Amino acid sequence: MTDYSRFLSPTGRQLHESAIRRMGTVVARTTDLVSFAAGYPDPASFPWDDVREIANELLSGRDGSVLQYGPTRGYTPLLETILGVLEARGIRTTLENVAITSGSQQGLDLISRVLISPGDVVLVELPAYTGAISAFKNMQAQLVGVTQDIDGINLEDLDAVCDRERRAGKRVNLLYLVPNFQNPTGALLSLEKRVRLLEWAERRDVLIVEDDPYGALYFDDAASEPETRPMRADDRHGRVIYLSTFSKTLAPGFRVGWMVAPAALAERFETAKQSVDLMTGSLDQRIIHEAVVRGVLPRLAPGLRELYRGKRDVMEAALRRELGDRLSWPVARGGFFLWVKLPEGADDNTVLARALEQRLVFVIGSAFYVDGTGHDRIRLSFSAPPPERIEEGVRRLAGILKPVSV
């Protein structure tokens, strides 16, 4: 047998596998499994009829551009409609600042390729989204964690950590944040902190990567719209690179997301993208473009909020009923996740191992921490399973956590 490890480059050897995708293999193999692991949207929410109609129309003729290569930046009419989506979120920008990406995950990868040198410090929250951790680590960044409060990142800790790392001779250029219903905590960054972060980034000469897949999925209708305003909307000094996606609001299978960046950086991201995939899929972009033009997003949005609010309520009620005295979690006012604190002394890996025996899967808390902690938490995703499976999953969790302490 050939040993292929000797063919691997240092980068190839160090590639960082996502803990959540690894769970996906378990999910695919097990029958009668309840999965609270991946943050998948509910397939019942996909706009099936719109997509079928649009795809039929696009494929009924012989317009070569539907299946042809296109510009790396993206299909221009889609970029133009995205300017409108952004404006509804308070962000006024122009075509030279926007690029389509293959999901926002590709935006994270392009940012890493263009902005990170090996050994650079990237500041992330404790805890932080695993997909971003993987993308940054693959470029050999050193990830340094900053603590979070109930209303998002702790600014005193942020400044102290940045200062400490710079004094130690490190290059600190990037801060990664998910301000709206963070993955995994569900936290909403307060408006006051958003303003102060923009000032901080200018003062400290740092760029902020603002990753916003969940902003439209708020549960508290009256208050949330103004509270989810992206930092990019008030970014006077060009400090924010903004990422968003159609994955959670239309469907993730299209792999269509976008990034907004200062023009000089957008041009670099485009050049990096040329060697990655030349462009995002034409048919995907055309379908998404038509869907946006036909008003599918605003038509779907209220139903999505109601759907996920309902599922959050089902999961919270079941957890309170079955395990209210043993578990605690912060209120999730939007998004897909509950961030659950385990009973005193319990360990996330041990609880997961026992859960898998009961055909239940979720993501261990420590997967989201870059400092080796987080073993006292788990992330439960309520977005994909139907309500009765959420209840069944919580019953299984209760069976594991109730009888003996782990």
Binding site for ligand PLP (CB under 6 A): 39, 103-105, 129, 131, 178, 183, 211, 213, 245, 247, 252, 257
Q: Using alpha carbons only, what angle is made at residue 296 by residues 294 and 300, rounded to the nearest 5 degrees?
A: 160
**Which residue's entry shows tokens 């409609």?**
81
- List the alpha helices (DSSP H) in 63-122: 76-88, 103-115
Q: Could you give the CA distance from residue 405 to residue 183 in angstroms, rounded to a whole number?
A: 28
What is the smallest separation between the CB atom of 252 and ligand PLP, expressed in angstroms? 5
CB nearer to ligand PLP: give 257 or 393: 257
**Direct distance between the N- and C-terminal alpha carbons of the chain, in angstroms, rounded to an integer:** 42
What is the smallest separation between the CB atom of 178 and ligand PLP, expressed in angstroms? 5
CB nearer to ligand PLP: give 132 or 172: 132
CB nearer to ligand PLP: give 39 or 322: 39
Query: CB-based burial of residue 59 (10 Å sphere; 0-12 exposed, 13-18 middle, 19+ buried)?
Result: middle
Q: Could you give the CA distance from residue 347 to residue 68 in angstroms, rounded to a whole number?
A: 51
Query: Residue of minimal CB distance from ligand PLP?
Result: 103
CB nearer to ligand PLP: give 272 or 317: 272
* Phi and psi, residue 365, nearest 5°: -60, -40
What is the smallest separation between the CB atom of 144 and ligand PLP, expressed in angstroms? 19
CB nearer to ligand PLP: give 258 or 329: 258
Q: Are 226 and 240 in contact (CB under 8 A)?
A: no
Q: Which residues touch 53 (CB under 8 Å, ≥6 apart)?
A: none
What is the smallest separation between the CB atom of 158 and ligand PLP, expressed in angstroms? 19
Q: Could you give the CA distance from residue 74 to residue 125 in angstroms, rounded to a whole number?
A: 31
CB nearer to ligand PLP: give 152 or 346: 152
What is the smallest separation between the CB atom of 346 and ligand PLP, expressed in angstroms? 25
CB nearer to ligand PLP: give 120 or 284: 284
CB nearer to ligand PLP: give 104 or 138: 104
Q: Could you give the CA distance from residue 41 to residue 247 in angstroms, rounded to a whole number?
A: 8
What is the smallest separation between the CB atom of 172 and ligand PLP, expressed in angstroms? 22
What is the smallest separation between the CB atom of 244 and ligand PLP, expressed in angstroms? 8
DSSP-derived pairing of the beta strands 360-361 and 142-149 = unpaired
CB nearer to ligand PLP: give 182 or 401: 182
DSSP state of 218: B
What is the smallest separation between the CB atom of 308 and ligand PLP, expressed in angstroms? 14
Q: Are 329 and 241 in contact (CB under 8 A)?
A: no
Q: Using alpha carbons only, what angle is made at residue 111 by residues 107 and 115, rounded to the nearest 5 degrees?
A: 175
What is the smallest separation between the CB atom of 105 and ligand PLP, expressed in angstroms? 3
DSSP state of 325: T
Q: Could you give the CA distance from residue 217 to residue 173 in angstroms, rounded to a whole number?
A: 30
CB burial string 310-344: b at 16+ within 10 A, e below? ebbebbbebbeebbeebbebeebbbbbbbbbebbe
What is the smallest separation between the CB atom of 98 and ligand PLP, expressed in angstroms? 15
CB nearer to ligand PLP: give 200 or 258: 258
